[in-house]
Amino acid sequence: MARTGPTTLALPSFGGATRRLVLINLASFFALAVLGSISGNFTGFLVEHLALTPSSLVHGQIWQLVTFSFVDLGLLSTLFSLLTLWFIGEMLESSYGARWLYQLYLISAAGGALIAAALSFTHFPRISPDASFAGPFAGIYGLFVAVLLYFGDVEFLFLFAIRIKARYLILIYILYQLAKLVTGAQVFDAAVLLASALSGYIFLKQAPRRGFAYSFTERYYALRNEYYRSKRRRAARKFEVYMKKQNREVHFDKDGKYIDPDKNPNDKRWMN
């Protein structure tokens, strides 16, 4: 839990994009659990095609770039990851908005999956293309980087007991994954999470402050408004030509807006 003042047990609000991401992951967990109780073979088949596997990815199962981050079969891992997503997601969303949070989460996960999958075909460091990974922590590691960059001095209650600054807590997570990468324990998992952190960092450095979607929307409306202004200017020029044929003069500014002659009462050229 993030804290900047005295330690309390208050929980962050639960709404917006953070709530939707948590609920999607939770619904996926329970759906797979129910299916597993009905048909374990079918659930295994489903997870095999939803989890990230580089060898399957290059054979056309590109949906894995997104679906793998919403698949988790472990109860404790799901609980811990979704609590983490809730606490840090709410903090980031309240400052940067829902669309920005969606983009950071999904781009971090998909970007990390692509990088790790590409590494697996080089077999460095000891990664097999047949390895698999699933779980929301890929997107969460992108959120970790945002907290590290923007809220490094905020203090968290780690395990509801240990008060620690965000920068140190997140560095511990990253160092832990680096250790796994070096020692060869769950190498592909560590590669995906570290690559997701890198993708999140690239997004944060390259994307506009409000995210790509917000920037695209602003550019769309700017182009639309410029189109309407150009139509108004063309209409104004045609009207000026028409009025000159009627032996009258009217004037428009560079944006096609009519200049009221009453603002210059000594100018009588507009009159018949």
Condensed to tens digits (0 to 9), the pLDDT of residues 197-251 reads 999 999 998 876 655 555 555 555 556 677 777 777 777 777 777 777 777 777 7
Q: What is the pLDDT of residue 30?
A: 92
- CB neighbours of 248 closer than 8 A, spacing ≥ 6? 270, 271, 272
Q: What's the rounded Cα separation, in Å, for the pair 262 and 184?
A: 82
Q: What angle do CA 158, 161, 166 make, to 5 degrees?
A: 30
Q: Record the tokens describing residue 151, joined without a space.
A: 């809220």
Answer whether the bond into residue 265 is a cis peptide, omega within 30°: no
Same domain, 76 and 149: yes
**Residue that terminates a domain, selected from 207, 233, 254:** 207
The phi and psi torsions of 133 (rounded to 5 degrees) equal -150, 145
Query: Hey, CA dihedral for 61, 66, 68, 74, is it positive or negative?
Result: negative
Same domain, 91 and 202: yes
Q: For residue 33, give its domain range.
A: 2-207
Residue closest to 133 by CA, chosen among 89, 195, 83: 195
Q: Record the tokens describing residue 135, joined without a space.
A: 């779980």
Same domain, 156 and 240: no
12 belongs to a structural domain: yes
In a structure prediction context, what are the per-residue pLDDT tens digits for the chain, which is 272 residues long?
A: 555 444 444 578 888 999 999 999 999 999 998 988 888 788 889 999 999 999 999 999 999 999 999 998 788 889 999 999 998 999 999 999 999 999 999 999 999 999 999 999 988 778 889 999 999 999 999 999 999 999 988 887 766 677 888 899 899 999 999 999 888 878 999 999 999 999 999 999 887 665 555 555 555 555 667 777 777 777 777 777 777 777 777 777 776 776 766 665 455 454 44
Is the distance from CB of 196 to CB of 108 less than 8 angstroms? Answer: yes
Q: What is the radius of gyration, based on Cα positions, of the chain?
A: 28
Q: Record the tokens describing residue 232, joined without a space.
A: 């108004």
Q: What's the rounded Cα separation, in Å, for the pair 169 and 1?
A: 12
Same domain, 195 and 219: no
Same domain, 108 and 194: yes
Residue closest to 113 by CA, chosen among 17, 209, 105: 105
Residue closest to 109 by CA, chosen among 78, 144, 84, 73: 144
Q: What is the pLDDT of residue 42?
A: 87
> How many residues are there in the chain?
272
268 belongs to a structural domain: no
For the CA atoms of 177, 178, 181, 186, the dihedral, rounded to the nearest 10 degrees, stands at -10
Looking at the structure of the chain, the number of domains it has is 2
Partners of 165 in the β-ladder: 155
Q: What's the rounded Cα separation, in Å, for the pair 54 and 127?
A: 10
Q: What angle do CA 208, 149, 11 make, to 5 degrees?
A: 100
Q: Is 12 helix (H, G, I), strand (E, B) or coil?
A: coil
Same domain, 198 and 226: no
Going by the DSSP 8-state scheme, the letter that residue 126 receives in this structure is: S
